[in-house]
């Protein structure tokens, strides 16, 4: 009876508490049918046209300053992206990212020569947090890792493509859409921030993309926003002409220091990894183990791999097609297989990539070290381009 009374008192106090000021659901458009392309005609990077978009790395990176809502009640945050080929027929790696507002230096400093390659300790500029001339640099935080399909939308009516359509596909898709819940990144998606998107295109046609962030506010009365923080750990993606793809894993481990001045409660590491290298035995098409250590203890050891790529065939009209010999009803026959069907290192043409979430528990004050290893990663040799795109960040309770 006493417990019942206490519970009623608790409900009364909760009901009498001044309600939080709701903002409501909001959808923020970041890019709308924006063209990403490669054009060596760019004499200078950081070109900002009348659409408020910075175009970096000869047009392969779009960067835009946006103002996002600052919630008091807890929202769910989703990122939505739609992509269509504007004439590029190939599958390409892509990354949607936010520039940490807490970083003194960012991508625009690369393009204005405020940051030079030789200033970075790793030899690969911009992939880990560093202090340069008493200013902090923090790597970009990925909102969405994605891979473009082969020619989605643009080549659908091509006569040659029509002959390649498998019987099990009713039609080629007009675009590809991705959506991920990124509520854990709310602490870096408030107020004024830079959000960018990169696609590794090498054509003047490129791709068209639309991106939005959806904020869905909780309907629960007095549902206070979770007090959390986000720490960028590393990002080997190429976002600037001054950067290059990271092929250093074949040389050894990548160590990242993590100084902590107050306990990080319930810390989680979000780890995104994909392997690339287009030749048959490259890092794209061979299974490679990823090993993550925290203070010399293995916290994750796995082979990132996707073997369901054939399920994305409807997004890949311009994919190359070959035949392979198979046995059917006791006879050897030739069966068609598309390039987009082959298994790959944690991605498929037309797929997004979900993070691996690694529980770290409470992280005490002091100096800590992450070690990231891909022991069998291959070196770049002539036209055999091997590299791993890896990013990671920590989410913790305050």
User: Mean of the per-residue pLDDT values for the chain?
Assistant: 90
**Rounded mean pLDDT, 343-356:** 98
Local confidence band at 10 (pLDDT 50, 70, 90 cut-offs): very low
CA distance 57 to 103: 21
CB 69 within 8 A of CB 192: no
Kindly report the length of the chain. 398
Domain residue extents for the chain: 19-306+332-397
Local confidence band at 48 (pLDDT 50, 70, 90 cut-offs): low
pLDDT for residue 45 is more than 60: no
What pLDDT, on the 0 to 100 scale, is given for residue 245?
85
228-257 residue pLDDT tens: 999 999 999 988 877 888 889 999 999 999
164-168, 185-189, 213-217 — which is least confidently predicted?
Answer: 164-168
What pLDDT, on the 0 to 100 scale, is given for residue 13?
46
pLDDT for residue 114 is more than 90: no
What pLDDT, on the 0 to 100 scale, is given for residue 4?
58
* CB contact set of 132 (below 8 Å; sequence gap of 6+): 105, 115, 119, 120
3-state SS, residue 312: helix
The H-assigned helical ranges of the chain are 2-16, 107-111, 159-164
What pLDDT, on the 0 to 100 scale, is given for residue 107?
83
Q: Could you tell me the pTM of the whole model?
A: 0.91
pLDDT for residue 15 is more than 50: no
What pLDDT, on the 0 to 100 scale, is given for residue 112?
72
What pLDDT, on the 0 to 100 scale, is given for residue 16?
47
CB 272 within 8 A of CB 289: no
Judge: domain 19-306+332-397, CATH 3.30.70.260.
no
* CB contact set of 382 (below 8 Å; sequence gap of 6+): none
């Amino acid at each position: 009876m006493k417990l019942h009374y206490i519970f009623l008192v608790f409900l009364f106090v909760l009901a009498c508490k001044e309600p939080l000021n709701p903002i409501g659901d909001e959808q923020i458009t970041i890019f709308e049918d924006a063209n990403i392309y490669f054009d060596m005609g760019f004499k200078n990077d950081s070109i900002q046209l009348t659409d408020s978009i910075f175009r970096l790395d000869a047009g392969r990176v779009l960067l835009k300053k946006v103002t996002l809502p600052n919630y008091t009640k807890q929202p769910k945050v989703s990122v939505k992206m739609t992509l269509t080929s504007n004439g590029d027929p190939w599958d390409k790696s892509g990354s949607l990212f936010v520039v940490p507002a807490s970083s003194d230096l960012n991508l625009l400093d690369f393009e204005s020569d405020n940051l030079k390659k030789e200033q970075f300790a790793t030899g690969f500029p911009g992939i880990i947090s560093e202090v340069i001339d008493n200013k902090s640099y923090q790597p970009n935080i990925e909102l969405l890792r994605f891979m473009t399909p082969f020619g989605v939308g643009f080549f659908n009516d091509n006569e040659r493509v029509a002959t390649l359509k498998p019987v099990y596909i009713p039609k080629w898709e007009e675009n590809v859409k991705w959506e991920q819940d990124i509520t854990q990144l709310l602490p870096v998606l408030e107020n004024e921030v830079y959000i960018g998107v990169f696609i590794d295109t090498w054509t003047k046609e490129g791709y068209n993309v639309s991106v939005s962030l959806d904020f869905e506010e909780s309907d629960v009365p007095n549902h206070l926003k979770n007090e959390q923080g986000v720490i960028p750990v590393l990002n080997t993606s190429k976002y600037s002409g001054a950067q290059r793809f990271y092929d250093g894993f074949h040389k050894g481990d990548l160590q990242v220091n993590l100084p902590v001045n107050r306990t990080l409660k319930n810390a989680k590491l979000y780890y995104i990894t994909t392997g690339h290298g287009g030749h048959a035995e490259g890092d794209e098409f061979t299974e490679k183990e990823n090993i993550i250590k925290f203070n010399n203890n293995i916290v994750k050891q796995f082979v990132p791999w996707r073997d369901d790529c054939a399920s994305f065939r409807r997004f890949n009209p311009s994919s190359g097609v070959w035949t392979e010999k198979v046995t059917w009803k006791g006879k050897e026959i030739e069966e068609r297989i598309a390039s987009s069907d082959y298994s790959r290192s944690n991605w498929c043409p037309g797929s997004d990539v979900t993070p691996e979430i690694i529980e770290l528990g409470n992280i005490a004050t002091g100096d800590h070290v992450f070690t990231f290893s891909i022991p069998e990663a291959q070196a770049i040799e002539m036209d055999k381009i091997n590299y791993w795109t890896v990013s990671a960040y920590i989410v913790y309770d305050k």
